Chain A
Amino acid sequence: MAKKRSKFLMIWVITAVICLFLFLKYASPKIFQVLMAKDHTMPTPSTLMMWYMIMGILAGLVYATTSNQKFADFLGFLLPGGGPTIKILLQKVLFIGFPVIVGWFVYSWAIPGAASPVELRIQHPTLPQEFEKLENPFRQTDAETQRKCIEEGKILFQTYCRPCHGSKADGNGPFSNSFRLRPINFQDPGTIATVVDNYVFWRIKEGGPGLPSESTPWDSAMPSWKDDLKDDEIWKIIMGEYDTAGVMPRQREKLE
């Protein structure tokens, strides 16, 4: 079998790299949108993009150097003469293109970039001591009283918490878009299902202003309800909130 030789190997490698770039930049966000069933495109993160491109370019170089024959063909493209007009044209594009690309890299590196805000926070700070000992007075009552408390709590929840946390306790209330630190989705198993009743009590009573600074209290729109709701009402809201979200509070570990 005659060895297939390509005079245009270099062009093919470059085309493959460009294709990879176009795929990551334009096609992949759409594909992931469909795969993950989202309403919006899923752009490839820039660092990931960089590593994929590095791997793509290295793969191209590795391929071009798999045999001396190939490598000679790869470089041979840059030699003068002996080809169709298209070759001469592509050679010119390469000669001009390389310094332009280097210039563009340097330009995009040197222009002042817009700073992106960094907003790190700890979601579940430690429960302050004075709240640790508290007990929800209605959790131990008979079933009938509990049912009444849940219902009363749900009404309070729908009145005061719903505008942000939503009718379904899913964090999608009418005001939720307006607070950049979005209201918590209580249906998410990583939220109120991971904490005990008292923790929620602390959060409702003290609100955003009661958070320690590692939890960015200045960005939290959670009001402090201590002036407007009685303790009993808060305990009822907590029961109604868990019921609406369809999750259970974490149980205290029994220390034997």
Chain B
Amino acid sequence: MIKAFKSVLISLGLIVLMTGAFVGRSEVSAQTSHLFRTYKHEVPQKLSETSEAIAEGKKVYEKRCWYCHGIEGKGDGPASKTMFPKPRNFTRNEYKVRSTAAGSVPTDEDLFRIVTSGIEGTAMPFWNTISETERWQVIYYIKTFNEQFKKDTAPKVVSVGSVASTPDSIKRGQELFKEVKCYECHGEDGRGNGPLTVALQTEWNMPYRARDLSKSWNFKGGNATEDIYRTISTGFNETPMGSYLEKLSDEDRWHVAHYVKSLSKDMASDVVVKVKLSESEQLPIEPLDENWGKATPVEVPLAGQILASPRHWAPSIDAVMIRALYNKDEIAFLVEWDDSTNKQEEIFRDAMSLQFPTKIPESLKKPYFAMGDSSGAVNLWSWKAHWSEGFGSIASGAPETEAGAVIEMNAKGFKNIVTQPPESQNVTGKGIYQNGRWKVVMKRTLKTEDAKGDIQFEIGKLIPIAFAVWDGSNSDVAGQKSVSSWYYVSLEKPVPKTVFVYVLIAIVIGASIEMWFVARLRRFPPKLEEGQ
């Protein structure tokens, strides 16, 4: 009897396992969330600052650092021409990340932390790849470029207390953000679009931009609340970011730090943009439509266009966020990006373009991700801002929002771009600029009559998509743009009703087998022959 049960049980177990085997497959390849560095705070035991250490440091410097920072430490190395922000000039006291009062030089430990972790969003790499000894040596050499290091022998270290982050603290921080006029540079939503930002550019000898506080990955010296607190307290030397040590109490600086921390977001990146089926008859055409909240946003990091001359080494837009919805007839995209300097002495128009292959690829083969190639054409949906004052004029008094216009194009490489004829132009769009952020909607029917030049959307397929953004005030035009490589959009299949029938059948079968098994068990209970 027991044997019979054994075999029944084992086969039941195997049935469960085989169904289970299919479950694991629905894992989607999320792009890593660890694209950006984490700043290390620990500093090991200092090396003594001897002339031998400085001489060794000079060797390290002239092997690794001078290409950017210059042989004389003036921040004018030969590689600095393809850089923005520019490398530090060590002969001046432009040190940003410091634990010392404004105008002072940083401590050796401050320098060690930055040499070790580098600075995200700049060309400064993390040098934890060289030995600690070498790092101390090179720091001692760098200090010889500036006499001030000798005078300020014991730089004043700003005390660091702590206040817990609470909703009240954040609210107080928000009030202080207004009171001490942080918004004048950082903007009301912290996107670095304050009215002073652009005005300040000419006063410093380098272009200057207030930090976009919504992008946590770009915070200089780290995005922990302690790092933000330190920056508010000490300021950045030789920048408009001053020290608030005197202007705000210790507690208030913590409140502001908590508020700034609450503004900052990590980049939520993924490889596939999932397009949700919308129940409504009409897809939203307004960028501020609340229905966009139903779509899952995906953020995509952008780089300068470096594939063909003239290359763009210093793009100002480093990410776009995309959402998409579809219904039985149409598909609509909402693309958002931060642009801190819109409409101020704009020379060129802000623009954005979506790129699709003209056909959904059947195999691995796709057109070249940068504007296609001779064997693979792409379909471009190109949106451009416009304003009533006219192209090229200073847009004072221009309205806050602009619709813009969408043009459909086809390309087979950089030099082979064709605008589609008027009868094939079937993408509609609308853009709005608000508080340092562009939000642009583009909409089209899923299928068009121009099957040769237009992408035809199909449900459930992986459709390549790439992005490009132009920032007019950064002189972006034509090939001077921020670009991404190929990503994908996928129109999600709705869950068919039949699935629930399958599930019901499975539950009934499962329950019947179970009942049969238990009934049999009860009828012939497993008995051990005593003394076995």
Residues of A near any B CB (own CB < 8 A): 39-40, 46-47, 49-50, 53-54, 57-58, 61, 65, 68-69, 71-72, 75-76, 78-80, 95, 98-103, 105-120, 154-155, 158-160, 162-164, 166-168, 170, 172-175, 177-181, 207-209, 213, 216-219, 221, 223-224, 227-228
Contacts and interface: CB of A to CB of B under 8 A. Distances in A.
A162 B17 contact: no
A86 to B, nearest CB: 19
Given A57-B13, A61-B9, A46 B24 contact: yes
B451 interface: no
A114 B367 CA distance: 23
B335 interface: no
A49 B26 CA distance: 13
9 contacts: A46-B25, A98-B514, A102-B507, A155-B67, A163-B306, A164-B306, A181-B485, A218-B367, A227-B309
Nearest to A218: B366
Contact of B526 (A75, A108, A115, A160): A75
Interface string B399-412: 00000000000000
Given A99-B507, A175-B306, 16 more contacts: A71-B526, A72-B526, A101-B510, A106-B505, A107-B502, A117-B271, A155-B67, A159-B81, A163-B313, A168-B64, A173-B123, A177-B303, A179-B485, A209-B368, A219-B485, A221-B485
Nearest to A91: B518
Nearest to A180: B485
B272 A117 contact: yes
Interface string B336-376: 00000000000000000000000000001111111001001
B375 to A, nearest CB: 9
A179 B461 CA distance: 23
B423 to A, nearest CB: 30
Contact of B525 (A61, A79, A101, A207): A79
A57 B18 CA distance: 12
Contacts of A179: 303, 485
Interface of B: 2, 5-6, 9-10, 13, 16-17, 19-29, 31-36, 38, 64, 67-68, 77-79, 81-82, 121-123, 125-126, 129, 271-272, 274, 301-304, 306-309, 311, 313, 318, 364-370, 373, 376, 460-462, 483-488, 490, 492-496, 498-499, 502-511, 514, 518, 521-522, 525-528, 532
Q: Can you list the 7 inter-chain pairs with the closest CB atoms, starting with the nearest?
A: A178-B303, A102-B510, A46-B24, A158-B79, A112-B493, A175-B303, A106-B506
Q: Which residue of A113, A168, A180, A217 has the most chain B CB atoms within 10 A of its CB atom?
A: A180
A163 B462 CA distance: 30
A98 B510 contact: yes
Contacts of B309: 227-228
Contacts of A221: 303, 306-307, 369-370, 485
A175 B460 CA distance: 31
A117 B462 CA distance: 7
Contacts of B526: 71-72, 75-76
Nearest to A73: B526
B68 A40 contact: no
Contact of B82 (A107, A162, A181, A219): A162
A47 B20 CA distance: 11
A208 B125 CA distance: 25
Contacts of A49: 24
A104 to B, nearest CB: 8
Contacts of A110: 498-499, 502-503
A216 B306 contact: no
Contacts of B462: 115, 117
B125 A102 contact: no
A106 B502 contact: yes
Nearest to B35: A177
Contacts of B487: 180
Contacts of A71: 2, 5-6, 526
A57 to B, nearest CB: 6
B495 A111 contact: yes
Nearest to B123: A174
Nearest to A62: B10
Contacts of B121: 174
Given A108-B26, A213-B365, A221-B306, A102 B488 contact: no
A117 B487 CA distance: 9
Nearest to A159: B79
A109 B303 CA distance: 39
Contacts of B23: 50, 105, 108-109
Given A109-B23, A167-B123, A173-B123, A218 B486 contact: yes
B486 A180 contact: yes
Contacts of A40: 32-34
Given A71-B5, A163-B306, A39 B34 contact: yes
Contacts of B271: 117, 180
A253 B485 CA distance: 38
Given A100-B507, A107-B503, A160 B26 contact: no
Contact of A118 (B36, B303, B364, B514): B364
A177 B36 contact: yes
Contact of A111 (B38, B499, B507): B499
Contacts of A105: 16, 19-20, 22-23, 506
Contacts of B26: 108, 111, 113-114
Contacts of B308: 223
A219 B460 contact: no
Contacts of A106: 19, 502-503, 505-506
Q: Which residue of B28, B36, B318, B369 has the most chain A CB atoms within 10 A of its CB atom?
A: B369
Nearest to B217: A177
A114 B13 contact: no
Contact of B78 (A46, A155, A178, A217): A155
Given A68-B528, A168-B129, A178-B485, A159 B78 contact: yes
A159 B87 CA distance: 13
Contacts of A178: 301-303, 318, 483-485
Q: Which residue of B67, B313, B487 has the most chain A CB atoms within 10 A of its CB atom?
A: B67
A72 B368 contact: no
B503 A103 contact: yes
Contacts of B461: 115
A117 B274 CA distance: 13
Contact of A158 (B78, B126, B366, B483): B78
A174 B32 CA distance: 17
Given A100-B507, A102-B506, A181-B485, A163 B82 contact: yes
Nearest to B121: A174
Contact of B20 (A53, A159, A170): A53
A116 to B, nearest CB: 5
Nearest to A243: B63
Given A116-B29, A177-B36, A162 B506 contact: no
A46 B27 contact: yes
